[in-house]
Amino acid sequence: MEENIKALADAIYADKVRRARGLSIGERIGTAIELFEGALGLMRDGIRAQFPEKNEADVESLLRWRLRRLRQVSEHGIYSKSPP
């Protein structure tokens, strides 16, 4: 059963790679923007769930703080991918 799931996951991944390689630069940038905006939406939803009393201005402020914090973590190499 797990072999079937892995084969299906690999096929889906290979199809995504093939489609991505066929995109123009503009399409790739557009896709990246869509993914980033989707991630921002999920982050906002998480903030609202964690702090239901916050208004929209507070949610945006906390979102910006979290994004700055993520950038600091990345720039300082605090977390890094472990070797396989």
> 45, 29 in Cβ contact below 8 A?
no
d(CA 4, CA 17): 20
Among 63, 68, 61, 32, CA closest to 46: 63
Q: Give the model's pLDDT for residue 53.
A: 97
The rounded distance, in Å, linking the Cα atoms of 54 and 45 is: 12
Query: How high is the pLDDT of residue 73?
Result: 87
Structure confidence at residue 75 as a pLDDT band (50, 70, 90): confident
Rounded to the nearest angstrom, the gap between the alpha carbon of residue 24 and the centroid of all alpha carbons in its chain is 21
CB 15 within 8 A of CB 31: no
- Say what the pLDDT of residue 80 is: 66
